[in-house]
Chains A and B, each alone.
Chain A
Amino acid sequence: MQCVVTGGNVKVLGKAIHCLSRIGDELYVEPQEDGLALRSVNSSRSAYACFLFAPLFFSRYSIPKELSFRCKMAIKSVQTVFRSLATLEKSVEKCHISLDEQKDRLTFTLHCKHGLLKTHNLSYQDSESLEAVFDKDSCANVLRAQPRVLVDTVAHFPTSLEEVTVTVNDERMWVRNYVEDESERSKVMLTELCLAADEFDQFAIKAHNSITFCLKEFRGLLLFAESTGLPVSMYLDEPGSPVVLSVTDSVLEGNFVLATLSDDRSPPKSNRGADAEQPQPSDDFMNDDMDSYLIAMDTSIAPGPSTSDLPAPPVAASRKLPAPNNRSRRHSEEEEEEDGEEDLERPPDKKFRSLFFGSVLPSSPLMSTQPVTTQEVLASDSEDETEAE
């Protein structure tokens, strides 16, 4: 494998690495025919990011035709290659990425001014392909905005804030800080920001939804979008379905898939724990239309004393379930309303869903948007699991 990046693109590549480092600890590298894919996922598998740099992004891009190669490496070590982004643009003229299969090294060579050569030999591990299964085209709502609009929006929220709730209707988008605990609502400052539809380049709303997702990863993507000046598209659907944030131009594509809270717990209605009370769905869940959605696995187990009266195994539930499950869900919500008081005393259980990953399909010529129809696994490989720590 030989890739050469020149000029301003070195900085773009560096920004992408920094952006991925906000997601997870490992960088998954996969040279594909349609470009170099860099991916990362967080340890709880609730956030996934992928950048695909098309061959045209590089001044030279050649990958071995016969064997497919993929690897993962500590993202920190790759970050050091692109340390000090500010000076990168001025000092580095060319970046050369090559694979030394004899020594199992991925070599980054930076050709700097005055003939200075910086070579980083990074060791890697073999890995399975990491691909989240998602289909942004089926999302009901699509918004596209200049990065500045969104950067100014998130600037109103404190950096310590973990999650935001985004609500859309036909004319507006609201962003609020998400407060997990009802009793805390009277103690923390609540912020709400309203953006009119005409601040967006595109504002196509089919369903009035309200979703909650992590702010940190969103900020990460915005950093990248702001430095490259690329508009950010948001694909959002129902609560529980992942939100996809993407930046695209002719030579690169970045997709961030973030899990959303599965319950729309818009105040004052509290239907916390509704999912947890739902009986574990029968096997027909497995045959559900999972290839068009990033389906979710609920990894949270209600902590503390309530565990005893809840079904202990993680519940794989989703709003994408067929009718019978939807009914049981409604039923459980009714139940929940009856004993709402009891629920208030329950420790908060966050119901972020982890994302669902398709396993390797080496022959697949397409990117992660390609529905994976075979070999799905609900849990990640055991190897991955240990690596995630």
Chain B
Amino acid sequence: MKFRGKITDIACLNHFTRVVTTIAKLTKTCVLQLTPDNLFFILSGKVTNGGVGMRCQLLQANFFHEYQMEGVSSELNQICLEVGPDNLSRALKTVQCAKSVKIKLSKKHCACLSISAELPTLSSVSRVVTHDVPVEVIPRRLWQEFQEDNMADFDVSIYLPPLKTMKNVVDRMKNLSNFLVMEANLKGEMNLKIQTDLVSVSTHFKDLGNPPWGEDSSQDGGLSQSRDPESMAEVTVDIRKLQQFLVGQQVNPSKAMCNMVHQSAVHLILLHEDVSLQYFLPAVA
């Protein structure tokens, strides 16, 4: 089991740091899965974290100048590590001006992801800083929880309004209620609603558009066709969980969409050029 990567481009380093910082805002610990082509940050939707799940995929070639890895075996060429993303983010933030950054799986006092950076100095010798982020290697028998599940058949898929607008709305609503109802239909309309004994607030978005899901998606094309475009699919979610997701977003994605399974789950998907972030929010009973 070996892993070694090197980032030499400062823009890639900044981008990678931003992604890791976004992850750090979403969860305290997560699984870093390394494959020959991709890095995944995964939080599987366990009861302990309130059923919230996350899956972030990065194409390694877009970030790393050098990338070498050797998985557990040739047929299972991957490595799964449990990491604290805030440690990674902190380590990366201090080395933003580095000439190059190496990330390496190493065995020191414990298994570590060693992030070493060569920092520019006025002298002839570079300054070297090493951050050892402790990780736990996840045994193979636990791997199946990190494989991508097939998406449940959703009722409505819709593009999200600008995340900043949505964040402002949700931030206000959070002061009034703990739960928020998200509803959307196939006419490009989405509503965010709260209801308490004293007040009902709802924000309406329209003309958002519905993403076309082709044959290759898990969605059964016939079903959405047969669905009444006016009829709303609705899910009640924990408002703090939704807010956490919105707070963490540092860059506007090229595409932001949301798949809803009526009264059971919200699946938020953000697509950047080389990164995709999926976030699963279960409905509260």
Which chain A residues have a beta carbon within 8 Å of chain B's beta carbons? 152, 155-156, 158, 185-196, 198-199, 267-268
B282 within 8 Å of A (CB atoms): no
Q: Return the contact of B110 from the options A186, A192, A198 (Cβ within 8 A).
A: A186
Residues A156 and B87 in contact, CB atoms below 8 Å apart:
no
Contact of B127 among A190, A191, A194 (CB under 8 A): A194
Interface residue B109 (Cβ < 8 Å from any Cβ of A): yes
A189 touches B94 (CB 8 A): no
Contacts of A185 in B (CB 8 A): 109-110
A192 CA / B119 CA spacing, docked (Å):
13
16 more A-B contacts (CB under 8 A) besides A189-B91, A189-B134?
A156-B94, A156-B95, A186-B110, A189-B84, A189-B87, A190-B108, A190-B134, A191-B129, A191-B131, A191-B132, A192-B130, A194-B128, A196-B121, A198-B123, A199-B122, A199-B125
Q: Is the CB of B87 within 8 A of A193?
A: no
Whether A189 lies near B90 (C-beta < 8 A) is yes
- Within 112-147 of B, Cβ neighbours of A (below 8 Å) are at 112, 119, 121-125, 127-134
Please report the C-alpha to C-alpha distance between residue A268 and residue B109 in the assembled complex, in whole angstroms. 9
**Distance of A152 Cα from B128 Cα, bound (Å):** 12
Number of A-B contacts (CB under 8 A): 59
Q: Is the CB of A199 within 8 A of B134?
A: no
Q: Within 8 Å CB of B124, what residues of A?
A: 198
Complex Cα–Cα for A196 and B123 (A)? 8
User: Once bound together, how far apart are the Cα atoms of A155 and B123, in whole Å?
Assistant: 19
Interchain CA distance A377-B134 in the complex, whole Å? 46
Q: How many angstroms from the CA of A116 to the CA of B132 in the assembled complex? A: 55
B2: shortest Cβ distance to chain A, in Å?
21
Q: Which 9 A-B pairs have the closest CB atoms?
A: A186-B110, A196-B125, A190-B132, A198-B123, A193-B129, A189-B87, A156-B94, A192-B130, A191-B131
Q: How far is the CA of A192 from the CA of B122 in the complex (A)?
A: 20
Instruction: Decide yes or no: A198 and B125 within 8 Å by CB, A155-B94, A190-B131 being known contacts.
Output: yes
In the docked arrangement, what's the CA distance between A195 and B119, Å?
A: 10
Cβ A191 vs Cβ B130 within 8 A: yes
Q: Mark B30-71, 1 if CB is under 8 A from A, else 0.
A: 000000000000000000000000000000000000000000
A198–B110 CA distance with the chains assembled, in angstroms? 33
A190 CA to B111 CA, complexed, in Å: 12
Task: Give the CA-CA distance A22 to B131 in the complex, in Å.
Answer: 27
- What CA separation (Å) do A300 and B75 show in the bound complex? 56
Chain B residues near A196 (CB-CB < 8 A): 121, 123, 125, 127
Mark B228-254 against chain A: 1 for CB-CB distance below 8 A, else 0.
Answer: 000000000000000000000000000
Residues of B within 8 A of A186 (CB): 109-110, 134
What's the least CB distance linking A267 to chain B, in Å? Answer: 7
Contact of B123 among A187, A191, A194, A199 (CB under 8 A): A199
Say whether A199 contacts B127, CB under 8 Å. yes
In angstroms, Cα B96 to Cα A283, docked, is 55
Minimum CB–CB distance for B127 against chain A, Å: 6
- CB pair B127–A195 under 8 Å, yes or no, is yes
A152 vs B134: C-alpha distance in the bound complex, in angstroms?
24
By beta carbon, the residue of chain A nearest B91 is A189
A199 to B132, CA, bound (A): 24
Shortest CB–CB separation between residue A202 and chain B, in angstroms? 14
Q: B residues within 8 A CB of A194? A: 127-129
CB contacts (< 8 Å) of B91 on chain A: these are 189, 191
Most buried by A among B84, B123, B133: B123
Residue of B nearest to A189 (CB): B87
CA distance A190 to B109 in the complex (A): 10
A-B contact pairs, 6 of them (CB 8 A): A191-B132, A192-B129, A193-B130, A199-B122, A199-B125, A268-B109
- A187-B87 Cα distance, complex, nearest whole Å: 10
Residues of A within 8 A of B122 (CB): 199
Smallest Cβ-Cβ distance to B133: which chain A residue: A189
Q: In the complex, are the beta carbons of A189 and B132 less than 8 A apart?
A: yes
In angstroms, Cα B131 to Cα A198, docked, is 23
B 78-100 to A, binary, CB cutoff 8 A, 1 in contact else 0:
00000010010011001100000
> Which residue of chain B has the shortest Cβ distance to A172 in the bound complex?
B125
Give every chain B residue within 8 A of A188 (Cβ-Cβ): 134
Query: A268: shortest Cβ distance to chain B, in Å?
Result: 8
Which chain A positions have C-beta within 8 A of B131?
A: 156, 189-191
